[in-house]
Amino acid sequence: FWDVARFGDYADTAYTKSRTKFWYENRSARVYPYQDFDAGRPVRKTALHDSLEAAGGVFAEYDGWEDPVYFARNDDERTPGYSFSRTNWFDVVGEECRAVRDAVGLFEFSTFAKYAIGGSAAESWLNAIFANRVPTTIGKMTLMPMLSPQGRVIGDFTLTRLGDDDFLLVGGGAMQRIHMRWFLDHVGDRDVIINNISDDFAGLHIAGPNARAVLNKITTADVSNSAQPFLSGQRVELADGVASIALRVSFTGELGFELYFPNNQALTVYEAIREAGNEFGLQPIGSHALMSLRLEKSFPSWGFDLTADYYPVECGLDRFVAMDKGEFTGRDALAALGDPREKIATFEIDADNADAYTGEPIYCNGVLAGYVSSGGFGYRLEKSLALGYLSPEYHDPANEFEIEIIGERRRAKMTRSSPYDPTGQRAKA
């Protein structure tokens, strides 16, 4: 957390002075879950900011960007309330979640990190620096953990092969300067071209049962399940011939497509999607809803459930590690690794008017057994949910658990699988 690369060029003198002054003056103030602060903002707005604001967008800062967290339905919701209990945006986030589960939602993903990777040695380099196997078929996508030499997770990405020596790598936006430094430090004299195109390409994500129907209205490309199955990508034209990349992947657990295109054509694509989505119940969706939806699927999130503190076997990413593919960074450390120190788990909590957030203690039969890494409310399941880490001896759904929320221990049940659509059929539809 002390790496200066966590800040980008947006952190100029004015921003730094404003933030420093604010935190000095408020150094003893209480900070609530999800709370954001106005000091130094705004510094960066995406090409779609004004359109999203006009749609009711309420924003928080993410890596300097103004990122929509939910879409207010009235004036009272335009100013977010903060509390350790549920807040004034609880209901509107629920409405957004149900729109994704039942119809289709539209997310802005412009802040994601995007890297175009090419060169004759691109495939061999990718296989050396990432833990999973590089896809060999054009159009195939793979989930790719990146490990330190000590075998811990230092990044998680999707990698799509778009051509013989043409790859698109997508990861966490706030980590891009740290990751780009790592890439360049480990490329050596190989014939590999690494272009960080994050600021040049905007992104939108459509997710829900009607996502394909909306996409069919704005492209002539074949995006059927047979032509573009789950975990695949292709170059397509959207709207008025906008050259784009469509990736079949979803962090919500529903049928979904990530769409990336040049920034200067973002508004054209956005307006086309909004118009095409009218008949299918499309709604703009913020990041608070995304976090709720992924909790129902037990999907870990970077910065909460995934950090450089964990080995793949501890955070559930071991299924994306190909130990049999040959040498890669971190492989020797994993091969020598003993039993995991802790293991991730999903919990359903008998909560009242407050949900776990992060850091809450988890008890098993009255004994401290672990801690919450992220939590929130699952609106389709109508349950309070959390992901957390347990010492291995307690990692058993048959055990009785409690999670302490605002000083009160609440009964919790460890689930045996993802609480929502555990076989993943909806995302593969």
Q: Where are the alpha helices (DSSP H) in 83-195?
A: 90-102, 122-129, 176-187
42, amino acid identity: P
Q: How far is CA 402 from the centre of its chain?
A: 27
CA distance 401 to 309: 24
pLDDT in tens, 301-320: 999 999 999 999 999 999 99
Q: For the chain, give the percent of residues with pLDDT over 70.
A: 100
pLDDT in tens, 319-362: 999 999 999 999 999 999 999 999 999 999 999 999 999 999 99
- Predicted local distance difference test score (pLDDT) of residue 1: 53
Bridge partners of residue 110, in order along the sequence: none
> Hunting for tokens 């990122």 — which residue is that?
67
Label residue 14 exposed, middle or buried (CB < 10 Å: 0-12, 13-18, 19+). exposed
pLDDT in tens, 160-198: 999 999 999 999 999 999 999 999 999 999 999 999 999
pLDDT at 2 over 80: no
Contact yes or no for 60/67 (Cβ under 8 A):
yes
322 contacts: CB under 8 Å, gap ≥ 6? 131, 132, 133
Tell me which DSSP letter residue 177 carries. H
pLDDT in tens, 57-113: 999 999 999 999 999 999 999 999 999 999 999 999 999 999 999 999 999 999 999
